[in-house]
Amino acid sequence: MKEFAVPPVVFPTGQNPVAGTSVQQRRVPTAPFQPQRPSSSSIPFMSFDMGSAAASTSSASIYGGPIGGGGGSMPGSASFEDEEPLLDELGIHPEQIWNKTKSILNPFRVNPVVHKDSDLSGPILLYMALCLFQLLAGKLQFGVILGWIVVSSIFLYVVYNMLAGRNGNLDLHTCTSVIGYCLLPVVIFSAVSLFLPQIGGVRFSIAGIFVFWATRVSTALMVALADGGDEHRSLIAYACFLIYTLFSLLVIF
């Protein structure tokens, strides 16, 4: 056999490997995405602290101040002081409801100006108050009263627009608001009837006073809010009288 001359292997350290050991040392496998362990002479936590400090400094310089110090605010952040009150977002204005309710208290001096902007928040409160007083009287009539309010609003809307013809500009939302706010005399009558005797003509006499009150106020508001309502005042008053008579009978019986 022909022999080949192989040059000796020289390692960088200048030492030949010991017999019985492999030429290449096996590397200990590390977990994936795990950095190499630093040597014993380095301090691990200093590199971490320096990196976090640099990151916080850069973020503070971007947003115009320290994050936790209150010196600057993040762009696009909303402040609670700029938010609208919850009642205003829901369309509930307590001052407006109080002014409209107060204008109903005097049947001989009605202020239709405050009722130009119709809403349903006040009528819902009066509806709940009427249902509560009826519940105290032992009558569970939540659905009946709500149904009568809806039917009464549609009835008054149809009556007026049939009378006015093409000139009718009264919408259903305004009718519901007027009928709901003018329900205040009936609510007061429901509260008073809790202390009245069940038998006798006293309840009917007092009911007539409150029905006259509600009819006069609702008629004045409908005539003032609708164009050409003066021509049909008597018919509008008759329709309002029927509506609040039904509510008063509901309270009596």
Q: How far apart are CA 123 and CA 228, in angstroms?
A: 25
Confidence of residue 25 (pLDDT cuts 50, 70, 90): low
For residue 188 the two structure tokens come to 């007061």
- pTM across the whole model: 0.66
DSSP state of 182: T
Q: How far apart are CA 58 and CA 37, in angstroms?
A: 27
Residue 30 pLDDT > 60, yes or no?
Answer: no
Q: Which of 188, 170, 179 is nearest to 150 (CA)?
A: 179
Give the model's pLDDT for residue 18.
52
For residue 58 the two structure tokens come to 């850069």
Task: Count CB atoms within 10 A of the CB of residue 133.
Answer: 20
For residue 10 the two structure tokens come to 């020289």
What is the per-residue pLDDT across 177-186, written as a single tens digit (0 to 9) for each? 999 999 999 9
DSSP state of 159: H
Give the model's pLDDT for residue 179.
94
Give the model's pLDDT for residue 116.
87
Using an 8 Å Cβ cutoff, are 118 and 174 in contact?
Answer: yes
